[in-house]
Structure 1
Amino acid sequence: MADTAQLTMFEAMQLIEISEDRAVVTSLDVAQRFSKEHRNVIRAIQDLECSAEFRALNFEQSSYRTAQNRPLTMFKMTRDGFSLLVMGFTGAEAARWKERYIQAFNLLEQEALRRTIERAEARGRSKTVRVAATDSYKAHGASDWTHYVANTDAIYEIMFGGSAYQLRKKWGLPGNANVRDHLSTDQLNTVIQIEAAVTLQLDARHVWHPSDQLKIIRAVATSYRAMIEAPMPDLLTSQMRKPAA
């Protein structure tokens, strides 16, 4: 690979990981790429002359296991932490890897920003659709909070394998946590689509009883799950079978 070649997203992800929406690189990877002993990289991090605040923000102590299953210390570092650490690394090969990592940080930080924006947009749509769905449930027979809980749990059970209570336990969330806040953007968009479709179905089918609402919700959610899990057609095979004009 030429030094000036632009990294692909796949290549960037081989160098850097996303941890809690931050792009980070491990001391293990730095040691490997810059041809240094890991213990020397650890020592260099520990010896950095930086403020306690900077260290806390940019270096996270972690651990890894050796081939003998021994736990050893490593660090995860942000772009700023990485930049400070490798500032003194010299030589043509070190310069090449510095450039690689700068490109990788740029790509993944842009990707993290894009995902944050998409997440915020999805959360906004979710609130709008949720209000409309709640109003629709009420207009079509829901009269108690248990009806609304049952409707939501039906979607969660079919799409994610458990009720809100079960998902909180499974994901280690507080008992009062809003499950929607912990769904991925794709999962949140699926819930949005299901609730919007349910609202249309309740109107079209003139549903007036909570038990019938639940049947509609289960039917719509089941249909969405089947659609998501359906195997994609083999387009290449289909084209090969197509008779010549």
Structure 2
Amino acid sequence: MNAIAHIDDAVFIQDQQVKTTSLKVADIFQKQHKDVLRKLESLECSSDFNERNFTLVEYKDAKGENRPMYEMSKDGFIFLVMGFTGAAAAKIKEAYINTFNQMAAMLYNLHGNNECIHIGAVVQLKSGGPIYTVSQIHHDNNGFMQNAEVLWHNKANLCRDVLPIACLSLETKNIIDSKMLNDFWASVNSYGMHKLNHSRNPNILAFNISQIYQCIDGLPMKSQLFAILMQSQSPHPVFMQHNKSIHSALFAKTIKCWIFKPVPLRNLGLS
């Protein structure tokens, strides 16, 4: 189903939490948003569960008018879609939950202090080669780690493979950190930040990653780029949110963007 191909865009990280929205759920499951809102407002969950997993917010529709939607956690999403039935819905739910887990693993890897291979770890073959993210670990009959399912991006495609644990090593942080982050922001500045910034607000920067890949050659794989951008701090623009819908200042449409807080020009070496 075509909707499954867009699920990566439906899950985002905000305030160190992995979330989706009622608007994205309606889009992916091909439902009317008003029907999803009605379903949300009739859920028979406790007030405590509701408070922890659902937040009523506003978004701007195509006419620029404020409309209600809900942001929700993985638990909130699961509670909502329990009643969505049928084979097609089941496939979408499975893909949606897998995407939640992958984003949570990435977030855990960024902030955890982990010394062994685990779900969410960034690894590489001991012989070198691409950088992978571990999505599953398979154990043998004695409970020892045997193989790891790993993910990586080949251009626009998310690829999976199963590799022996013994062939993998944890990647060192500096490979996914300082040099690639410096190179990325230098490339964006060289191309022209104003040509890529979709924000109408001078206090935030909004970049669409797919557009950046179309405009700038030589960038790292998206899986690597996502990891380093979520660590972006001063003197670079400071990461705030992933995958937020922005009414573009460059195009006459709404576009999904990564949001950053700008830093003074002197910090970028442009003064």
Question: TM-score when scaled to structure 1?
Answer: 0.46
Larger proportion of helix: 1
Question: TM-score when scaled to structure 2?
Answer: 0.41
Larger proportion of strand: 2
Structure of larger gyration radius: 1
